[in-house]
Amino acid sequence: MATEPSPQRAYRAACPNCGAPVDFRSAASAFAVCSFCRSTIVREGEALRKIGESAELFDDHSPLQLGAGGKYQGSGFTLVGRLQYRYKDGTWNEWHALFDNGRSGWLSEDNGRYVIAFDAELGGAAPPAEQLRPGGQKIVAGQPWTVASVTAAKLIAAQGELPSKPNTERGFVVADLRSTRDEVGTLDYSDPAEPKWSIGRSVAISELAMTGLAGGAEKTLKARSIECPSCGTSLEVKLSTTQSIVCHQCHAVVDLTSVDGAGKGIGGDLAHYAQDNGDEPQIPLGRVGTLKLGKIARAWQVVGYVERCEEGEDEQSFWREYLLYHREEGFAFLVDAEDGWSWSAPITGVPTPSGNGVRYQGAQYREMYRYTGRITYVLGEFYWQLKRGERTSNVDYQGPGGKRLNLEMTEGEQVWSAGETLNAADVAKAFRLDADKSAALKRDAGPTSGNAASLLAKIFFWVFIVVVLLMLFRCSDDDRRDCEPLRASYGEASQEYQSCLASNRSSGYRTSGGSWGGFSSGGGHK
């Protein structure tokens, strides 16, 4: 744990409601939530007064907890408070970090990773919330920012020591903005007359050298007896941030965002949808492999699998994505496309437009493709809420030395991801794949010679072709459903219906490496 913040005088008094001890580590903290009776308490000089009650926290099994400590930019800190928010796709946490020098900050979740941020002065009027649109450009506090997401949220619970009164009475708008300086800014409109502004940067738990984290093994929700609402099979949720899970028995996609601490949404009440059977992933779910995704090689576990298709007027293509998880690094994506393998992870900042592409961290990236993607099949757990037939608009960029960028846009959010290409042999070795599966990964090996290795390559080449045709059938079948209203209105032979089908037909397989990033999580941070 971090050292106690010596410049501050710790203060302890009895909760006016239940008598339990309530600690204030910072003289600047005026509010706290009693850990025993959840009373919201205001500090008035040397006395405490109850002003309300906080709801019970949703147990999301975060590795963070009160009392955990770490270091950021050479200064130690301790987590002393927690705010928990709900939005349409789930929940997220913001942890009040008290630094040894008396400064307060916020450690919060951001697209499967973490951001540490500090409150800042606006220095002028904030842009009205109704004027913010994802992808829009705004000047805030004298600096240019790109709007990443605009979300309606509500504070649902609080815990520990807080710098201001937690308001759980009404919802509000929160907007995340990104800069070319690799920063994330958040506009909090909980008080529309005086919006709050904070600026942060992306961090990994490993970079913070944290101690006092929750138990090393991931807890599960198995004790809550969550059953598949479609077939009744017991669902064991392994990750703290899971918003959607796929039943291993019937493959129904189950939404977990409605499950709360009181058990609401259990069993048949859980939102879910059925999906057609897909292909088994070449890398099994649960398999752990050591890959260098960035600066350091780490052990990543496969927790999710996605098959996606591209929609377009001229061609339609397909690729696969594996969602990888590391307890201290968060999430990353392993992408399997016809031209090879690559990895990616969401980034905090945004690139700078430059010529026919963008510049990011000193490198020039050339625009390669623009397309619309759609999920056709999923397995495993996901930190975002999966929605049937949801589409994303994507732009792929290629940089030097195998570097890649992707911009993914939905109606309420846009997310940039960065990554690099990978060697198929390295992927096979990392996940200890058998020789037959390893051969299937190497798509660029043409079946030309007559030896045994060539025969094996031929077999997997044709297996791959069959898989593509099956994916094509599934995506085309979805397209027929998309055109069904026109068929019902104008008839199967009508020009309207035939034109709809033609606009969705396929003729290829994406060679750009996919969208390098999957769907984004939404959420926000302070």
152, 186 in Cβ contact below 8 A?
no
Geometric angle at alpha carbon 400, from 397 and 405, rounded to 5°: 25
Residue 403 pLDDT: 95
3 state DSSP class of 148: strand
Distances (CA, A) of 82 to 95, 349, 395: 4, 25, 37
* Residue partners of 279: CB distance under 8 A and separation at least 6: 307, 377, 467, 470, 471
DSSP code of residue 505: -
Q: Are the C-beta atoms of 385 and 394 separated by less than 8 Å? A: no
Predicted confidence pLDDT, tens digits, the chain (526 residues): 444 433 334 455 666 566 566 565 544 444 555 555 655 544 444 444 443 443 444 445 467 888 999 999 999 999 999 898 888 777 788 999 999 998 999 998 765 678 999 999 998 999 999 999 999 999 999 999 999 999 999 998 888 888 888 888 889 999 999 999 999 999 999 998 999 999 999 998 888 999 998 864 443 333 344 778 777 787 777 666 677 788 877 778 787 765 544 444 444 456 775 666 667 889 998 899 999 998 889 999 998 898 888 876 565 678 899 999 887 788 899 999 877 899 999 998 999 999 989 999 999 999 998 989 888 888 888 877 777 677 889 999 999 999 999 999 987 789 999 999 999 999 999 999 887 666 666 653 333 333 444 444 444 444 555 555 555 555 555 555 555 544 554 455 544 445 445 444 433 334 333 444 444 433 344 3
Half-sphere exposure of 103 (CA within 13 A, CB side): 14
- DSSP result, 78-101: EEEEEEEEEETTEEEEEEEEEETT
pLDDT score at 180: 94
Smallest CA-to-CA distance from 196 within 186, 209, 181 is with 186
Closest by CA to 85, choosing from 108, 119, 117, 116, is: 108
Backbone angles phi, psi at 263, to 5 degrees: 90, 10
CA atoms 399, 340, 295, 326: torsion sign: positive
pLDDT at 466: 54
Dihedral sign for Cα 71, 349, 322, 364, please. Answer: negative
| Nearest partner of 287 among 305, 269, 302, judged by Cα | 302
pLDDT at 399: 96
Per-residue pLDDT at 145 = 97
Q: What angle do CA 399, 180, 144 make, to 5 degrees?
A: 145
pLDDT at site 467? 53
Distance CA 519, CA 522 (A): 9
Residue 179 — φ and ψ, nearest 5°? -125, 165
Are 408 and 271 contacting, i.e. CB atoms less than 8 angstroms apart? no
Q: Name residue, tokens 């010596």.
A: 6
Output the CA–CA distances (angstroms, integers) from residue 150 to 44, 126, 206, in the order listed.
36, 14, 29
